[in-house]
Structure 1
Amino acid sequence: MIMSAKDKLYQNILTHYSANHSGFTALDCADLVPIGRSVISHYLNRLCDDGKLIKENTRPVRFFVNTAPTPSTPAPVDKKTQNAFSRLIGADGSLAQAVSLCRSAVDYPTGGLPVLLAGESGVGKSHLASLIYDYALERGVIAADKPLIELNCADYANNPELLSGTLFGYIKGAFTGADREKRGAFDEADGGILFLDEVHRLSAENQEKLFLFMDKGYFYRLGDNRTRHPAVIRFIFATTENIDTVLLNTFRRRIPVRVTLPNFISRPLTERVAQVDCFLRCEARSLARDIHLDASLMRQLVMSPVRGNIGELKNQIKVICASAWSESDNPQYIVLNLPYPPTGTGEMLLISRRESASTVDVASLLPKAMRDEVIFKEFCHSGNTLLLNRKLEQLLTTISGVLSQASPYGGYVWQSTMHAINELENLTGLAFNQDHRKAVWLCLNYALHHDSDAAQAGDLRAITDYVSSKARLLADECVNLLRHHVVDAPFMLLPPLLGSAFNSLAGDDDLIQGVIVSHGRSTASSLAGIANQLTGGYMFKAFDMPNATSTREIIDMLINHLDAIKQSAGLIILVDMGSLRAIYEEIKLHLHGELLVINNVSTAMALDIASKIQHRLPMEEIINSVKGAYEVETRYYAGVLPGNKIIITCISGEGISHKLKDIVQRYLARDEIDIVTMEYDDVKWKIARSDPALNGTRLIITTTELEAGYIPLLSVEQLIKEKTAVLRRDYFTDLLAAEGLEPMIEEVVKLFTVEGVASRLNFLNPVVIINEVESVIKQYESFYKLHFESYLRINLFMHIALMIERVMVNAGMRNRDDVELTGDQKAFVEVHDTFFLALNRKYHIVLPLTEVLMIYEIMEPWIVPQPL
C-alpha cells in the first residue's frame, strides 16, 4: 500500500526524534518531507489527535513522540466494511450532521424511519441514498439479498395512473392493455429500501396511497380494492423543490428525517478539492494514465459555481480528460490545462492512477495561489486588503480550521485585538475601518497558529519596500500594542503585512517627520495622541521614557528609530528636557535631511508643529515661525459678556448664508439669540483684528474652515459629520430647542444636497426629487429602526436622485443582474420594491437588480449587523 504524506512524516519523526526527550518543532521537520511548513503543522496536529504525538503549547510549539501505551484506543478496523459513509466526501466535515441523521434513520428500531433528501439537482442525493442502503446492509437491518429499488417519479409525471401501476402493480383488466397481473416496485422492494427520486412529481392521489401504506403496512394493486398485499419497506425520498409547498401535509408529516445537501460551491474548500481529486483519479484509472493538472485549472474547478453541481462537475472533468487523452500520444500521462489563454501558472499537480483518493494529501493539491505564502506575497505586491481578508478567512476557516465558520469574529482575543486598535486610533489620530480591523485580526490569528518564519518575513519586507515610513511606523505601533494586549510573541510576519494594509491609510510620507520624547509612563503618547487626533493624521511618533532615562539613552533610542525607518526627510524632535546641543549634534550624523530640536514640549507646541507638518511647510519656515513662539506669557483678560448672537457666513456668497439662517432660526430655543449673516472676508478680517463687533458671539457657522480664536467655530462639514452628542455639548448648549438638533441637521443636509445635485441632473427638478428620495430614506430608517448619519443621507440623496434619471433613459446599470445573492442581499431586495413603489409609479420605472445592489452596498455597513 502507498504510504500517505502524513505517515511518511511520522515514520521520519520516529527515526530522528523517538529518543529525543527535548522534543522538536514544525520547523525541525521541514527537511523530513517535501511539503510546506503549514501542511507539516497540520499533520503534526493530526498525529496528536491520533495519539501518536504529544505537544506542549510553548512558543514555538514543541512536539514529542508518545511512547505511552494507549489501551483505550480500539484496534484498527476496516472502515469500508464498518461504515459505508466513510466513502462520502465531507462525512466528517460539512455533511457530518446529514450523515448522523441518516444513521439514526437506519438504526431506529421497528423498521427505521423514512428519509427525505433535499437539495439542488446534482448535489449527490442518489449517491447518498446508495450509501444509506450500504449502511443498512452493514448494520444487518436488511438482509443481504434484499435490494435497493430506485424509481424516478418525474418519468411518470404526465401519467399518474401508470406511475400507480408501476409502484403498486396491477391486475388483469385494470386498464386498456393490462392483459395480465403484474407486480410493482413495492413487491420488488419488500424487505429492502425503495428510493423515490423527484418525489414532488407524485400526484396527490399517489401521495395518499403512499402514506396509507406507511401507516398500515399493506397496499392494493391498481384495479383491485379488496386484496391486501403486506410488505416491509424502508423509504428514501428525494426532491429538488420546497417540500412545504409541493407535498401534502398528511404525507409530509410521515417523513420525520429531512436532510438538505448543500450545493458544490457552498461546501468547504478542502471538500471541493477532494471531490475534484476523486473524479480525476477515477479518470486516471479508467485511462490507465497519470494526470498532470495545471494548478490554475484546479483553482477554476474548485472555485467556480457549477450549474449542475457535482453531477455536472463529474461530466465536465470527464470531457476535459477525454479531450486531453485524444490529443495526447504519451502512453504514461495526459496534461490538463485551462482551455483558453493564458494556459496557467505553470505549476502542475500530479494525479496518480495508482493511488486511491483515501491516501491523498488534500492540502498539497491546493494551487499555490491558495496557499499562505503566495497569499501574503500577492497581498504585499497589491495591498488589496479586501482580497487578503477573503483569502485568509478561507484559509483559516476551511483549510486550517483556526476560525469558527459560524462566527469568526468574536471572543476574548477578538475583543483584546479591538482594544489594541482603539488605542492605536487614539495614539495616531487615524480611523481604522472594519476592513483594516479584520486584516489585523486575521493576520494575528495566522501568526498565533503558525510558527514564525524569518526567511518568509525577510521576503515580505523586501516586497514592501514601497510602503511609506509612516505605514511601517503604524504597523510597528500596532504590533507593539498587540503584544501588550493579546500575547507577547515575535510576530515576525505582521510588520510587513500590516505595513501594506495600512499604506493607503497612513498616506505618503511628509516632508518632515515629528517625534515627541518625554519622561513618564504616557506623557509623550498623550501629547502625540492629542496632536495627531486634532490634525487627523499620524504626524508624531511618541517615545515614553522612564524618569531616570539620560540624554545618552534618548540619543541612542532616536538613532535606532532613524536606522529602522531609513528616514531621509527632515526631522523635528520635541523633548521635555535634556541637552539640545548633544541631541542635535549626534542625531544630525544619522539624518540626511534637516533637523530641528525643541525643548520644553507642551500640548500647544505639539499641536502647532503638527499643523505645520500637515501643511507641508518647509523646515526653514517652521524654524522662523517657532523662534520665541512658546515663551510662557501671563496676561489679564477682562470678563466677556454672555454671548447673544450666532454669525453665519459662506465663502460662496450670502445666498447660502440666508438659507442657513432660516433653518437655524426655526430651531432656536431662545428669542434673545440673534442670527447675523456676514460676508466671509468681513468675518475673517474682524477675527484677525479682534474686532469688538464680535463680542457676544456664541458661535460662528461657516461653509469654509477658518481660525476663529476663542470663538467656537463650526463648519458645515463638521455639522454634518460630527456626532450629535458632541455638537450638542460643544456648540449648541442652550441654543436649540429640545430634540431640535437632528431635524435641523436634516434640513442642512437637504439644502446642500439640492445645491450639489442641481448641477448634475439633466431634466428632473432637484427640489422635487430630493423630497421624494427623502420619503424613501425615511421608510428604510423606519424599517431598520435606525437613523442614518448625515453624510450617509447625502450620499443616498445624490445616488438615488441620479439613479432615477439614469433608469428613466434606459441607462441603468445591469452588469450584476445575474449574480448569486447572499442572504442579506436577498432580504434587502425583497423589501426595496415596497419603498420605491411611489417613485416607480410616478416615473414609470423598474430598477434593475444591479441598481438595487448598489443602494444596498451604500447602506450595508448600517443595516447588516457587524461583529463586535
Structure 2
Amino acid sequence: MTNKEKIRIKLKELSLKIDGSMEYGINALTIADKLGLQRNLVSHVLNELTKEEEAIKINKRPVYFMSKEVYEEDSDRFTLISDYIKEINYLNTNNDIDNFKELIGASGSLKDVVQQCKSAVSYPPNGLPFLLIGSSGVGKSFLAQKVYDYARNCSYIKEGAPFEIFNCAEYANNPELFSAILFGSAKGAYTGADSDRIGLIEKANGGYLFLDEIHRLPPEGQEKLFLFLDKGIFRRLGETEKKRHASVRLIFATTENPENKFLQTFLRRIPLILKIPSFKERPLKEKLDLIDNFYKREALNINRDIIVNSQVINILINSNAHGNIGKIINAIKLSCANSLNNTQEKRTKVLKVKINNLHKDIIERDEDISFNNLNINNMFISCSEKNDRDYLNTHINKASGITEELNEAIKELEKGKITEEEFFINGTKIFNDLIDHIVFNEKYRNSKNVIYRSIEKTVESTLHFMNLNYGIDYLTNSSEIMANLITYFVEFQNEGYIKEEISLIEQLSKKFHKEYKLVLKIIEDIHNNLDLEINKEVEIYLLIYIRSLDKSIQNNVNAIIIAHGHSTASSIAGVANRLFGKYIFEPFDMPIESSPLDISNKILEYVKTIDTSKGLLILVDMGSLETIYILLEKEIYGDIAIVDNVSTKLVLDIGSRILSLQPLKQIAEESSKKNVSKVNYIESTKKKTDVIITTCITGIGTASKIKDLLNSCFNEDEVKVVAYDYESLKENGKEDFVFKQYNVKLIIGTNDPKIENIPFISLENLIMKKADSVLFNTLKGIVDNNIIEKINKEAVKLFTLENVLNYLTILNPDKIVDQVEDALTNLERSLGFKLENDLKISLYIHISCMIERLVIKDPIMNYRDCEDFEQCHVHFIKMTRKAFSVIENFYRVEIPISEIGFIYDSIKNKVKNFDL
C-alpha cells in the first residue's frame, strides 16, 4: 500500500471520529504521528488530496483537513466546517466587499493604515474618529471614500448612509459661518436667516462626515466640536437651550503637523492619527503599480493601447513632484494628451509615450535623475478591460503549502520538538522546494520584470561586498536564487508574518548573529536601493540559505579589528576572512577625524547583538586605541584582550588559533609574543545593570505597556525597566540571554515564570497593595530611601484596577469591568467554585487586553500546543465560550482557542488541582 493510500484511509478513519461541533478536522501532525511518517510528507499528500477533491482543507491555524466523503455523507453533523465553507463561499462571491483591495499599497506601505482604518470602522458602537496626515495629493480624500465604502458594504452603517465632505479652508476666516454650515442655524440667528437650516452634522446623521484641511479651522471652531466629539450633542447657531443628537462618524484630514496646528484638548479627542506616505516614500513595486494603473485609466478613456517608454517610467518613479500622486496623475494625463496631439496618424491603435511628451517642469525639476538606472523595460498598456499584469494575481496554493511547512517547523522548534540543527536541515529542504516551485513556475518565470532584475543586481553587489569583507564564498547562482526568493515574496506573499516568525528571528539572530548580519545587509541594501519592504519570512529563508552554505561561521571567541583610515580594518579583515573562507573578523574603520568615543559607540552597538561571555578580542593598530577598553569594560560581559600593532600576519595567526578553539587568554598571549605585539588582558569585573523585568504570558506587547506604566512612577535614571518575553523566561530560566546582560532584581507581570532566586510581583498584587514589602526590599538595593518613598506614593495612586485597564487598553474601564465581572460570574457557576479576588483581578486585566486585541484584529494565535489543548479541554472551551458570549456579541468578535488557552493557564496557575 502506498503512503498516499495510507494517508487517505487514516484521514477518513479519523474524520469519522471527530466532534463536528467542536473540531474542524485533523491536522497533518496527528496523521503523521499515527502512521509514523514525516509531517512534511503527510502535509504534501493532504494538499494533493484537496486538489483531487478527496479532502477538504480548512485554512485555520493550524491547518485542518477532512475527508470530503465523510463530510458529504453527514454534513449536518459537522457544523463548524459547514459554517467555514459558507463563510468562504460568501467571501468568494462577495470578494469586492473589502473596498481597500483596489487601493494600491493596501498590503504594502498602507497595510498598517488600512488595518487601523478597519479597526476604527468596526469599533463599537459607532466607530472611532481619526485624523489622516499627509502632504497634498497623497490620497487622503480617496482613502476617506474607501473607509466609507468599507463601512457601508460591511454593514457597519446602512446601505444608504450619507457621506458628507467639507473643506474647512473655505470658511477659515469666518467662524460663525463655519458653525452655521456645520451645525445648522436657527431662524434669525444672523442677517438673512429667515428660516431654520440644517447643517452637515444632521445631513451626515447615520453616516460619515469628512472634514478636510482641518488645520484651517480656528481654535473657536475646534472648541465647538468638543461637545459633539464627546457626547454626540450639538446646537444649531442661534439656539441656546435645545440640545440635538446625531450619530456621525468623523474623519479629519490635514497637511500640517497636528502638534503645531491643533489645540491639545482637540487632539486628545482623536484617538487615531494616521500618516499617509508620499509618492516618493512608496516602495518601487507600488510606484510601478500606480503608474501602470493611471496609464490604464487613460488607455480605457481614449480606447487605445499605450506603450510607455522606459525613460518616462524612470522619470516618473524618481519624481519629487510636490503634488505627489495627484501630480503624477496629471503628468500622465498630459503625456498622453501630448502624444495624441503629436501622433501623425490619428487613427493609429497604439499610442507611444516618450520623454518629450512629459511636461518640461517634471523633467527640469528632477535634474539629478539617473536615466534608466533600474534597467526598466517599456510598459505595454492594453485598452481592454483585462489586467495587463495578471501575474500579480497568480494562484499560489502550492507555495502556500510550502510556507505552511516552514511555519510548522518553526512551531516544532519553539516547542522543543526538534533541535536547531534539525530545523536547519528541514528548513533547507523546504527552501529548496520553494525555489524549485518559483523557478519552474511558468507564469512567474514569464513575469521577471524590472523588480526582479533590480533585486538581482542589488543582491549580486551585496554578495560581492560580503565576499570581500567576510570571506563567505557563494555558489555562482546565489544571487539568482536569492533574487527569485525575494522577488516572489515582494510580488505575491508580502502580506505580513506570524508572531512565531518574529520570535524565531529574535532567537536565532542572537545565536547566529553573523549569518543574521549578512541577512540584514541584503535586506538593508534592497530597502535603501529599491525602497522595497521585505517581510520576516524572507529573513528566515535567507538565514537558512546562508547557513546551508557555511555551517561553521560561529566561533568560540569574538574578534574585531579597529584601525585608523577609511578602509584599513576592512581590508585586513576582508583578506583574512577570504583566506580562511569563514567570517571570523569584524572590521571597524576609524577615520583620522574620529575619536575613540565615536568608535566605542559603534562597538557597543555591535556587542549588543552578540554573546561576549566567552571573551572579546580587540586588535588595534596604534597606541591611541589601546585604552579603548576603558570605555567598553563596563558594558561587556566576559574578558577583554587588546592586542596592538595589528597586521595581516598577526590577524592570520590569530584566525587560525580561533578556528583551533584556543581560549582567549592563550590566543592573545601566544600571538603577541610571536608577532612582536603588546597585549592588554582585562578580566571581567563588570557589574551588570540592575533591572526590573516586566513580562506577560500573552506576549511582549502587554509587557511593554506594563513597562510604560511603571515608568510613570519612576524614570529610567532611577530604575531601569526592561520588557521581556514570558515564554523565553519560562523555557530558558537563568540561562536566558537577558540574565547575561542584566542583573535582574525583580520580575513584574501577569504570570510568574518561576526564575530561581528572582522575586516576582503580580499586577494584581500591586493593585491589591500586597507587594509593598517586596517592592521596598528590591528597590532598597537600587536607589535611596527618598526615591523609594516617592515611588511608593506614585504606585498607590497609579496602580488601581481602573487606571491599569485605562493604561493597558483603549477600552472604557468602567464598562469593561462590569462586562468581565458578568462573564466571570457565569464562568464561576459553570466551574462550580468561586475565583479568589487576586485571580479575578488578574483575569480582569488579561481579558480586557484580550478584548482589545480582538477588536483591533490582532489576536494572539501562537499558544503552545494549541491542538493538544483543543482536544484535551473541550469542556472548558465550551464553558468559556458560553460565559463570554455576551462580550463576543457586543464587540462583534470571536475568542480563538489560543486566547481561551491563556485564560485556562491563568486559572490553573492560581487554583490547585485545577484540570478541566
The two structures have a TM-score, normalised by structure 1, of 0.41
Structure whose CA Rg is larger: 1
